[in-house]
A and B are shown apart, each in its own frame.
Chain A
Amino acid sequence: MARSFAVVTDSTADLPDEWRTRYGIEVVPLKVLFGKETFRDRVDMSNEEFFRRLAASTTLPTTSAPSPGEFAEVYRRLAKDHDGCISIHIGAQLSATAEAARVGASSVAGFEVRVLDSETVSMPIAFLCRIAAECATLDDAVSAVSQRVAKTRVLALLDTLRYLEMGGRLTRAQAMIGTMLDLKPLLLVADREIKPVDRVRTRSRAITRMVEFFKKELPVEHVAVMHAQAPDEAADIASRLGQDLPNEEITLGQIGCVLGTHTGPRALGIVYLKK
């Protein structure tokens, strides 16, 4: 590898496994806690197993950020054969992960770690990592990623708001979801906020509305369709998007355990960077 700096992210980037080796990206896992049992995201538990347990569990799992010590350990290991490191993480409005990375980095002397708050979640972080990985120098990478942070978008369709609400990330009022009817919220993560953009009664209508909303967002680049155990619908959405994006490779990605704790099963997402 020609590049002399390391690229680090966390497991909420939903980085495709193959990208780790192809782009040389280090992933630090967040944790999922089912009662007293702790699992490292995407390490100790597969996505399939996680959603199976989520459906069966009477109490909802909780999630936690990696500790500063865990980050320090990773940075120390990377310091051996790298000049520096760009560490790109889940938005600070959603998780303490970036803060833990910063604290961890400060304890590793003589190794330059540039921690960046992506302001987003899921595969836009993976896209930022890929962009960083393709840069020649750490400064270039930091500059390229910083420029794009404000362009990241996550358009998420939840099957229910229950999980997000339980996790304290969004209230029903904020999502404009009443307490009575079962409404599907369509949310947009942008500008450090989770904004409600629509609420729809049925899933198929909600998917149509999500695709319609996305089309108004064009032009975009780095597009992926995410899903939590709903691969067929995700593939269908990807093919609908493909009609408007003939030159764009649309990645299909899976929502991981930590993020899945907050989205719940059957969540769908279209993620992209605004041009």
Chain B
Amino acid sequence: MALAKATGVDGQLFKRALLGSLSWLSANHEEVNRLNVFPVPDGDTGTNMLLTLQSAVEDVKESNAAEISKIAKLASHGSLMGARGNSGVILSQIFRGFARAVEGKSSLTPAELAGAFEEAANAAYRAVNKPTEGTILTVAREAGRAAATAASAADANVPRVIAAAAAGARAAVQKTPGQLPILRDAGVVDAGGFGLQLILEGMLKSVEETEAAIGSVAEPRAPVTPAAQVSLDLPEGGWGYCTEFLIEGSNLDLDLIRDQIEALGNSVLVVGEPELVKVHVHTDDPTRVINVAGGYGKLLKLNVGDMSTQHRRIIEDEGATAPRPTRPNGVGLVAVVAGRGLVDIFRGLGVDAIVEGGQTMNPSTQDMLTAIEAVPYDEVILLPNNGNVIAAARQVVGLTKKQVDLVETHSVPQGVSAVVAFRPEQPGADNLRAMKAEAERVQTIEVTHAVRDTRSNGLRVKKGDVIGLINDRLELAGDDYADVVKRALGKLGPNDYELVTVYRGEQASDAEMNQLETEIRSNYPSLEVEVQQGGQQHYPFILSVE
């Protein structure tokens, strides 16, 4: 093994650094989730970043390439395929920029490493339409700058450059509340930026461990004091990873292995012979499980499945008994939807494939790509139907030979309006225009409970309050659904509209539904009201106003 200090960063060192990032982010991603500033239940930034990073590392793990260019390229490709949520997508762009910067190189000097960090940040800035300061972008840039400063010192070496990047990231994260009022109001730092800080810290830890392992004198370093110290704080009802593999070895002690695995997760199954043991566990820390098991022998058929991904599925055409006639325009429709009723509604309107997901279950780029490939048309229109899914959906375009067009629907009502406007006999371009226009015409009201105390948009909201969002913006807070909806409709101006469609969520009771309907009808008699069983989670009611 080459000395990192002497020869710089080669492929295998970078691989270890990435594995270090994964295990550190994995241990702390729930803390990232908790930094979610918006009071709507979408606190999944940490999960999204972790899943993206996990996908980045997936192929890297298998590679013995000595060149950093090869490892960086694998990470870039993997992160792109696994990108979920806004932060995940930006992270994938960071990897992409890094890979571009190191193209053709087998190993990096400290200065080249710092340059690659800076280029990674630049690439992320370029990928975002309207870069916002106080986010992961700022943190990436500051990390790059700090790395460049460290690299210009006379005694620069790789661990110092990474340490400087991590310290730069940490300092930038602490400043984010001063840059984004929404963070300041909520009293938190930016979640995506903090996630990036963890990734750099994880790199540093693994590089330092490598240094220690090869007996070199530990470098003085900036103290690593992560804001998050909650590695054992497993999420309540967290999804975890279904981790399965075989251990090939000799004189394997099944009981001992079982005891150790049981400490790391649940649904543990350890069976087999002293020469070959099958392990199955649901864990939040697959990396640790793998490390533990790897100590016993060679791991075979390793399979780590994100159970939230498994939970999501591309629903097969249940009405397959009567095959749909082939569409004259040859354009397929793919929509991201969650909730039994909503899935049925989108299916009924002619959507070919559904990717289950939405607010708190952002599907990955790969999930959407799979659905698109499964549709029997070469041209596909994709409807994300959620603001948090749009970034990952954008990535799909260009990853397939199919022509994929995105109608950037931010909500279920926008998605329904877009699909309703779809004409199978019209060419794709005409449909895109019509679908975008119709999606913009409809107004969306979403009703949920605040998941944290916050101040936003001039409103003071306490955890548990009923809150109303109009077109993704928090506009109202109150005690009951009917009242919030009544005021939201009043704000929109009911005289400009004809029809209110209520998509009832899983949590809404019959009494709440009736009360809501009565409230709308008695206050706004000119509006037609239609109630649909949406079955969505987290939002007791979603209303479409048109």
Contact = CB atoms under 8 A, between A and B. Distances in A.
A109 interface: no
Interface in B8-59: none
Interface string A166-202: 0000000100101111110000000000000111111
B498 interface: yes
Given A179-B348, A180-B344, A181-B349, A199 B532 contact: no
A180 B420 contact: no
B499 A178 contact: no
A180 B345 contact: yes
Contact of B348 (A181, A198, A202, A204): A181
Contacts of B341: 180
A201 B420 contact: yes
A181 B350 contact: no
A201 B416 CA distance: 10
B530 interface: yes
B345 A199 contact: no
B424 A181 contact: no
Contacts of A204: 498
Interface in B495-528: 498-499, 501, 528
A178 B424 contact: no
Residue of A176, A181, A201 ringed by the most chain B CB atoms within 10 A: A201
Contacts, number: 43
A241 to B, nearest CB: 22
A197 B324 CA distance: 18
By size class, the interface of chain B is 20 to 34
Contacts of B501: 181, 201
A203 interface: yes
A180 B416 CA distance: 12
By size class, the interface of chain A is 10 to 19
Contacts of B258: none
B345 A178 contact: yes
A206 to B, nearest CB: 10
Given A176-B424, A181-B532, A182-B530, A201 B546 contact: yes
Contact of A203 (B417, B498, B530): B498
Nearest to A176: B350
B423 interface: yes
Interface string B258-276: 0000000000000000000
Nearest to B423: A198
A197 B417 CA distance: 16
A181 B341 CA distance: 11
Contacts of B324: 173
Interface in A113-144: none
Contacts of A173: 322, 324
27 contacts: A173-B322, A176-B350, A178-B347, A178-B348, A179-B344, A179-B348, A180-B344, A180-B348, A180-B532, A181-B348, A181-B349, A181-B420, A181-B501, A181-B530, A181-B532, A183-B420, A197-B423, A198-B423, A201-B417, A201-B420, A201-B499, A201-B546, A202-B498, A202-B499, A202-B546, A204-B498, A205-B546
Interface of A: 173, 176, 178-183, 197-205
Interface of B: 322, 324, 341, 344-345, 347-350, 416-417, 420, 423-424, 498-499, 501, 528, 530, 532, 546
Given A183-B420, A198-B423, A201-B546, 6 more contacts: A173-B322, A180-B341, A182-B530, A201-B499, A202-B546, A203-B498
